[in-house]
Amino acid sequence: GENVEQHPSTLSVQEGDSAVIKCTYSDSASNYFPWYKQELGKRPQLIIDIRSNVGEKKDQRIAVTLNKTAKHFSLHITETQPEDSAVYFCAASPTGNQFYFGTGTSLTVIP
Amino acid sequence: EAQVTQNPRYLITVTGKKLTVTCSQNMNHEYMSWYRQDPGLGLRQIYYSMNVEVTDKGDVPEGYKVSRKEKRNFPLILESPSPNQTSLYFCASSLGRSSGANVLTFGAGSRLTVL
């Protein structure tokens, strides 16, 4: 099956700086890559996603890039704010029904 | 309000005592799935269902059963719980692959402790 690796496991940045989280996947059949944000004690919520026919997608301060050849995708958060502090999960889906998540990155934004 | 509802939210039980965690969605979603979340392991898919009476194993199905008799409900059954099933469980739903919409809407989670 698919194997998704996520780095780093923890990340601390100063408010206003950028944060980058990286994921790699193993199954070349994966074609859908969502990112979920989970605040402490809350449920995961989608923040951005990308499909394999697109190399980059942006939504305000958040962007995701995908390199299919290298099988890796990254989340970029610019101008970080304290409310960005949370655990972020990447995921890969080869079928649209099976989802394989990374182990999560705990992001702390220091005011 | 569009939502995925799980019950119970918290449960402490003993080894071997059958239990069911219910999941219900009010969005007419075709697709439903169950995940467990453990520290350092992220979210792992247990089972999923593409529609009524259609269920498939995810990455970690051992020790679990599911059923999808109605579109809105997707209960998770632990026939004989063991301590290694102590975890935080999430149910999720989406419109489904046939619609091209894979965005998962998660329930609030059910924290299960098996003694």
Residue partners of B53: CB distance under 8 A and separation at least 6: B68, B69
Touching check for A32 and chain B: CB below 8 Å?
yes
Nearest C-alpha in B relative to A89: B42
Touching check for A47 and chain B: CB below 8 Å?
no
Interface test mutation site (partner A, options B90, B91, B102, max chain A beta carbons within 10 A): B102
Contacts of B90 in chain A (CB under 8 A): 43-44
Query: How does residue A95 score in pLDDT terms, banded at 50, 70 and 90?
Result: confident
d(CA B45, CA B57): 8
d(CA A105, CA A51): 21
Task: Please state the separation of Cα B59 from the chain's center in Å.
Answer: 13
Longest Cα pair distance anywhere in chain B, in angstroms?
Answer: 42
pLDDT of residue A53: 84
Pick the closest to residue A90 from A28, A32, A42 (CA basis). Answer: A32
Task: Summarize pLDDT for B20-62 with one digit per residue, the tens.
Answer: 999 999 999 999 999 999 999 999 999 999 999 999 999 999 9
d(CA A29, CA A26): 9
